[in-house]
Amino acid sequence: MASRRRPLSIKTGREDSGSGVEEKEGGEGKGTDNGEITEAEEEEEEEEEEEPVSPAGRLFLQPRFNCHIVSVMGCGKRLDVDAVKAGLEVTLVRHPRFSSIQVSDEKPLRWVRTKVNVEDHVIIPDLDPNATSANPDKVVEDYVASLSSTTMDHSRPLWDLHILNFVTSEAAAVAILRIHHSLGDGISLMSLFLACTRQCSDPDRLPSLPDARSSTAANSRSGILELLLWVWAGLVLAWHTLVDVVLFTATLAFVKDTRTPLVGMEGVEFHPKRFLHRTVSLDDIKDIKKAMNCTVNDVLVGITSAGLSRYLDRRYGEGDDVKKEKKRLPANIRLRTALLVNIRRTPGIHALAEMMEKGKGGGAKWGNKLGYMVLQFPIAIFEDPLEYIRRGKAIAERKKNSLEAVFTYWSAWVIVKIFGIEAAAALCRRMVTHTTVSFSNIVGPIEKIGFCGHPVVYIAPSVYGHPHALTLHFQSYTNTMKIVVAVDELTIPNPNQLLDDLTESLRLIKDAIPRS
């Protein structure tokens, strides 16, 4: 049974954070004049403590789509376990999803608030000290890989934090936060994590993200011209959406990606995954963005196309006679990503901090509200490295003028309502297995942050439990970008080579941009 709890007052590092309970004149708490909880307030609290699991959340609980988010975080000093537990108590534990379990009895599957024992969620593994001193990076890599072959206890809230208190090549200690994907989408969960941190330079301030406003200057136009442009934009949007819906339906029905060395075997979602990451310069990516008049995401699509092309060219050439010349990569390779798109406005960091401070949802909407978008990566060897950016920009711009993700979200909702979650899960899995790679770009803070008083050196998120052999994430943090890959080693036995190809592609593209 869920425990009955009233929101408590907490401190977030600000002197004016105040109480989570609004006080009346005379010091009485919220409720009647004698401090009792009214029937209406009790019903409101009951409603807050029980909420149906969203269709997307139920999808991520299906046996062949049992997805978990795992984020490796490097810290600049040894982790004080007691300080971490105390910090979690006043932040993450107060979030409704992180203090709820999933219950299904006579009612549909729903979230029910429960008492959280932080001791159950903070795990300090007993590792061989000889191994951690000899090759600490390999120990971390092996440990994170081992998590992908374990399940979480559904009798407790579906998250845990693993602390590895030894020095690695990049950090003084490592924390691994694992969260079941049914709790929320990756963007919302990253925003929530940031709401649990503070700026290192000012421990009273929340992190800040890059300005998302468009850099394009607005042009003054006449009313008629403005109207014509809006009409034309609407027609283009409708046409692109129609085309994308037809192609999406064809992918569900019969259009599969080319069978390359990146495509996993049947049942790949059950295989343990290997997680690796590499740090590159965000300034280099911004230089390319500026030179090519595009966005950071356009550049990342181009880098991914170039890196995957280099890797596949090598794999196809394995065993060839050295005298055989180039052209190892087959023409017309179809290689696409099943891109999850959050169609709900992500709660802001301040709204999430307030949510945790009050211990209830408030006005910040939460959960998975996701649609799919199918995006193709050009696979070819171009003499001009900048051609990857040009094509990546064209692909990304084309997808921005489409409501494909909105259509797929509402289509899935209708399918769940009519045929049930099992039918929706089967269709989603079919669509994912007809593509090759999972791809994501998550924006991080622009300044150094601290987690429970510990400076964060890097953030490397990924996911496992879905039927792809390759998952590729980009995570920005201050002036760096982490490239994170999660691979099935039976399919991709040399993931470090893949990271080498991605970083080398970035270097070649950076060197090719025109110099002013």
Q: Which candidate, 447, 282, 312, 306, places its Cα nearest to that of 386?
A: 306
Interstrand relation of 159-164 and 122-123 (parallel, antiparallel or unpaired):
parallel
Helices 296-317 and 495-512 pack at an angle, to 10 degrees, of 130
| Rg of the Cα atoms in the chain | 24
Please report, as a single letter, which amino acid is at residue 24.
Answer: K
Which residues 6+ apart lie within 8 Å of 304 measured at CB? 377, 392, 439, 472, 502
Q: How far apart are CA 385 and CA 505, in angstroms?
A: 8
Give the separation between CA 419 and CA 5, rounded to whole angstroms: 37
Among 332, 262, 151, residue whose Cα is nearest residue 502: 262
Question: Going by C-beta distance under 8 Å and a sequence separation of 6 or more, which residues neighbour residue 104?
Answer: 110
Give φ, ψ of 217 to 5 degrees.
-75, 140
Burial status of residue 308 (CB atoms within 10 A of its CB: 0-12, 13-18, 19 or more): buried
On whether the CB atoms of residues 248 and 372 are closer than 8 A, the answer is yes
* DSSP label at residue 155: T
Write a three-state SS string for 410-466.
HHHHHHHHHHCHHHHHHHHHHHHHCCCEEEEEECCCCCCEEECCEEEEEEEEEEECC
Report the distance separating Cα 430 and Cα 64, nearest Å: 11
Active site residue 181: yes
Active-site choice (181, 277, 434, 454): 181
What residues does 438 pair with on adjacent strands?
471
- Catalytic site residues? 181
